[in-house]
Structure 1
Amino acid sequence: MTTKNYFPASENPVADAGGGLKRVVAAYNTNLMCVEAHFETGTVAALHSHPHEQITYVISGKFEFKVGDETYYISAGDSLYKQPNIMHGATCLQAGTLLDIFTPHREDFL
C-alpha cells in the first residue's frame, strides 16, 4: 500500500452499509484507520467481533453499546475501547455520528 498523507473530505465516498448506517473512510494506512459512522435513530449495529483494536468516539447522538458482558449508554464526548475479538454492537437511541479508529486498518471497508 502506498502511503497517502492527505484525504480531502470531498474525495471520501459515503458507503451505505444498510439499515440506517452510512460509513465514510477517512485517513488510513496499513496500521491505522479513521472511519466516520453516521447512524439514524433506531439503527442497530448487530453484535460482531473482529481482530482489530477499536476506539469509538461519539461526535453526536446517543447510543447503547454492548461490549463483552457490559452495556454502556454513551453520548457526545464519550469514548469506548474494544479489544480484538470482543463481541460488541450498538443501538442508536438518537441520530448521530461516531468516529471509529481501527488498528490495523479494516481491509473490508476499502
Structure 2
Amino acid sequence: MSVKNHFPATENSLFDAGGGLTRKVGAFNDNLMVVEVHFETGTVAARHHHPHEQITYVISGRFEFTVGDETYIVGAGDSLYKQPDIVHGATCLEAGTLLDVFTPHREDFL
C-alpha cells in the first residue's frame, strides 16, 4: 500500500461543525493529522477531552483557551500543547483561524 504524500487544498471542503466553527482536514496518516479550524467571533468550543495529543497554532484572531486548570489569552503566532485526555476548550475573542495537529489522527474527523 502506498503512502499518500500530497493533500491539495481543493481536495477537502470546509465542514460546518456548527455554532460559528468550521474545519478542514489537511494531510494525515494513521499517526498524525493537521486540521485548519475557523472561528467566528464569540464562538465557543465547549470543554472536552480526547485520547489524542494536540498542538494548536494560532494563525489569526484572538482566543481564550482553557487547558486543564489554566486559562490563556492567545493570538497569532502563539501555540498550545494539550496532552491526551486533558479537558480543554476555547472562546473566540476575535475571528480567526487555528491549525490543530493531532497524534494519532482523529478518526471522527474523517
Segments of 5+ residues of structure 1 without an aligned counterpart are none
> 1:48-82 CA deviation, whole Å, 9 max, x = no partner?
00000000000000000000000000000000000
TM-score with structure 1 setting the length = 0.98
Cα distance in 2 for partners of 1:69, 1:109 equals: 26
The question of 1:96 aligning with 2:77 is answered no
TM-score with structure 2 setting the length = 0.98
SS of 1:51's equivalent?
coil
Cα distance in 2 for partners of 1:36, 1:54 equals: 13
Per the alignment, residue 85 of structure 2 pairs with 85
Per the alignment, residue 16 of structure 2 pairs with 16
Between Structure 1 and Structure 2, how many residues are aligned? 110
State the 1:2 CA deviation: 5.6
Matches within 5 A, 1:1-110: 3-110=3-110
RMSD: 1.0
State the 1:12 CA deviation: 1.5
State the 1:13 CA deviation: 1.5
State the 1:17 CA deviation: 0.2
Segments of 5+ residues of structure 2 without an aligned counterpart are none
Cα distance in 1 for partners of 2:2, 2:98 equals: 27
Runs of 4+ in 1 over 3 A off after TM superposition: none
Cα distance in 1 for partners of 2:100, 2:6 equals: 18
SS of 1:98's equivalent?
strand
Cα distance in 2 for partners of 1:80, 1:6 equals: 26
State the 1:3 CA deviation: 2.3
Q: Structure 2 counterpart of 1:10, which letter?
A: T
SS of 2:108's equivalent?
helix
Q: Structure 2 counterpart of 1:48, which letter?
A: H
